Amino acid sequence: MSTPPSATVIREVTKGVWTFSKPFSRLGVWPIGGRSTAIQLHNGGVWVLASTPLDADTKKKLEELGPVKYIVGADAVHNLFLSDFKKQYPEAKLIVPADAIPRIDDKELKFDGVWGRDPPATKYGFEDEIDWCYFSGFKNKDIAFLHKPSKSLIEADLLMNLVSIKEQYANTKKPSNFLGLGSFGPHSWIHARLIWSLGKNVEEMRRDAKTVSGWDFQRIIPCHGDVIETDAKKAWNDVYRHFLN
């Protein structure tokens, strides 16, 4: 009997930056796709934003990339697979936002860093290559990451590129354009209004949106939707127009 193809699409987006893209539907009905991202650090270790299941294909590729040194949670709600990653890579540092901790079923899980609890100037060990910005004023307490060598912005719910979810459904049946998601791109007015509504502290949102806007990036790797390879800075500024203007 032949083995069914994996739904996980693994790709090297740019040198040393790998994505693990899978189908995912919010509440089981809203197809938005999911993605983890792994970065090969200059010291030989691997940094992983863990947001999708640790399936066999993902484990195999991570083993090829090098020892996992950091596992990060992208926000309060991207927490389902953090325990699996930590159990598989017990020597890795696990760093998450404080609001994710109550949502994690494994109450014995130990954390090596907690955004929103640690002092704002805390260094976690990967900052030579990866900058981060904790959005304390955002509903989901997201963290934006900048991989400086590749000029890649990596994030979860701060920006979604739902105008296209081709890669995340490349190995399975593509969903229909549920509720007009094709119009929910980073340049749409509705995306900007959604982000405005999720900003629970305007001044903190304005501060952090400006910080990210000032970063030097050429692509955006979101958890939901296809990777943005062109006009990435414009995409960010359009989504955060109400905080930047």
Could you give the domains of the chain? 9-244 (3.60.15.10)
Q: Is the pLDDT of residue 3 over 50?
A: no
Q: Is the pLDDT of residue 221 over 80?
A: yes
Gap between the Cα atoms of 86 and 107, Å rounded:
13
pLDDT the model gives residue 77: 94
What residues contact residue 124 under an 8 Å CB cut-off, 6+ apart?
A: 70, 93, 95, 112, 113
Gap between the Cα atoms of 83 and 126, Å rounded:
21
pLDDT the model gives residue 171: 86
Bridge partners (DSSP) of residue 199 are: 138
Gap between the Cα atoms of 86 and 68, Å rounded:
10
The more confidently predicted of residues 131 and 164 is 131
Helices (H) and strands (E) in the chain, counts: 6, 13
Mean pLDDT of 118-129: 97
Q: Is the pLDDT of residue 17 over 70?
A: yes
Q: Is the pLDDT of residue 1 over 60?
A: no
- What's the pTM? 0.94
Contact (Cβ atoms closer than 8 angstroms) between residue 160 and residue 224: yes
Angle at the Cα of 25 from the Cα atoms of 188 and 230, rounded to 5 degrees: 40
Mean pLDDT of 186-207: 95
pLDDT the model gives residue 28: 60
pLDDT the model gives residue 180: 53
pLDDT the model gives residue 4: 47
Gap between the Cα atoms of 244 and 61, Å rounded:
39
pLDDT in tens, 157-178: 999 998 888 898 888 877 655 4
The torsion angles phi and psi of 165, rounded to 5 degrees, stand at: -125, 35
Residue 24: band (very low, low, confident or very high) from pLDDT cuts 50, 70, 90? confident
pLDDT the model gives residue 31: 80
